[in-house]
Amino acid sequence: MSDLPEIKLVFDEPKQRVKPPAHFADLDPAARKALAVELGIPGFRANQAAVHFFTHFNDDPQSWSDIPKDLRDLMAEKFTPKMITLVRSVSADGGRTRKDLWKLHDGVLVESVLMRYTDRTTVCISSQAGCGMNCPFCATGQGGLTRNLTAGEITAQVVAAARACELGEMPGGPTRLSNVVFMGMGEPMANYNAVMRSIRNITTAQPDGLGIGARSVTLSTVGLVNGIEKLIDEDIPVTLAISLHTPDDELRDTLVPINSRWKVREVLEAADKYADKTGRRYSIEYAMIKDINDQAWRSDLLGRLLRNRNAHVNLIPLNPTPGSKWTASRPEDEAEFVRILETYGVPVTVRDTRGRDIDGACGQLAAAEVTSEA
């Protein structure tokens, strides 16, 4: 019972000192038009703004030459203000992985990572500044939650990535942004409304959205069951990823502390319902931590849990965070873990470790920046 207040927190907006500017990407297309009219901007100008923003990936109203100058000023202030400013970028993997650090209007820092593969280009985005889930192996979790991002701030990360792709900033020439994963900073289910608005902005056809298929959008969660159940009702078949990290409640209570509220069984049952409704296989994320969660018996237990489920396991070699005594599993333990899962017919892949040398995983760039500024 003592953890009930924590449940309440899940959908609450954390206290914010200065509200982020409103942006038309916080709204659905009808409400965007209504806001424009309220601001004295003719409704059709909202469509023009949408073409600039979602089709041309241009977030600077001052350069929108088909809009009169005075309206550009008004839009830049109240309709489509700049939500994120690049602080710095670092590249790895011959430029095919790029991590961008963004400053928000209040100086808060978040990051996104753009990864080009042969068959797709994926951006990993943040949904919160910091995170309240407190998973001990995750860099973001160590600093706690600063605040939720708005849909405008989340969407702006995707638009910036789409622009970088179109401008050919990644080696291999211009390309299309094809995938979006909510695996940057934050717990997306704890910022549900802004994340859902962002998902609609990403998946709605141009010009009102970016026109990326829902199947190419992955929402990764620690397993907030109330959020998964809401998602089931949205009727939008994004790929669901569950950060399980261990099949047993005893260890999961430590690795993913929200497990004290929703147990492994409840989380998997909610994911099963999602899979039934959408027909989509879900992913089980599993960070392989040496001698902590990588024992053969845990693989066996995981295999038994998942063998009749519509799930796929994604093993992630732990990216050690500064100051932590935990490290990635030995290759032979990882191989054995995979082998055992396969005996149960559970599909399993080992995630490639893009961007290791730029702390490409999990809040480390923002953390480094804060340390060096302090």
Q: Which entry of 111, 187, 285, 334 is annotated as an active-site residue?
A: 111
Where does 128-177 have alpha helices with state H? 139-142, 151-166
Q: Quote the longest CA-to-CA distance of the chain.
A: 67
Binding mask 185-204 for ligand SAH (x = CB under 6 A): --x-----------------
Q: Which of 79, 137, 262, 282 binds ligand SAH (CB under 6 A)?
A: 137
SS (H, E, C) 68-124: CHHHHHHHHHHHCCCCCEEEEEEEEHHHCEEEEEEECCCCCEEEEEEEECCCCEEEE
Q: Which residues pair with 52 in a beta bridge?
A: none
Could you say whether residue 329 binds ligand SAH (CB under 6 A)? no
Q: Which is nearer to ligand SAH, 65 or 371 (CB)?
A: 371
Pick the binder of ligand SAH from 48, 122, 179, 220 (CB under 6 A): 220
Binding piece for ligand SAH, criterion CB under 6 A, among 13-21, 131-139, 152-160, 295-303 = 131-139
How far apart are alpha carbons 284 and 337 in whole angstroms? 14
Site for ligand SAH in 47-76 (CB under 6 A): none
Task: Pick one of 75, 109, 271, 362: the residue that binds ligand SAH (CB under 6 A).
Answer: 362
**Is 269 one of the catalytic residues?**
no
> Is residue 285 a contact point for ligand SAH (CB under 6 A)?
yes
Would you count residue 318 as binding ligand SAH (CB under 6 A)? yes
Which residue's CB is nearer to ligand SAH, number 21 or number 257? 257
Q: How far apart, in Å, are the Cα atoms of 192 and each of 33, 149, 162, 188, 226?
A: 23, 11, 23, 6, 10
Q: Which of 332, 362, 369, 373 is catalytic?
A: 362
Residue 44 contacts residue 37 (beta carbons within 8 Å): no
Chosen residue from 316, 346, 365, 367 binding ligand SAH by CB under 6 A: 316
Give the β-pairing of 109-116 and 145-148.
unpaired
Q: Is 165 a catalytic residue?
A: no
Of 247, 363, 245, nearest to 314 (Cα)?
Answer: 245
Four-point Cα dihedral 86, 195, 54, 172, nearest 10? 60
Our finding on whether 341 is near ligand SAH (CB under 6 A) is no
The Cα–Cα gap between 35 and 124 comes to: 30
Give min distance, CB of 352 to ligand SAH, in A.
12
Q: Which residues are catalytic?
A: 111, 362
**Residue ranges in contact with ligand SAH by CB under 6 A:** 133, 135, 137-138, 183, 187, 220-222, 243, 285, 287, 316, 318-319, 321, 361-362
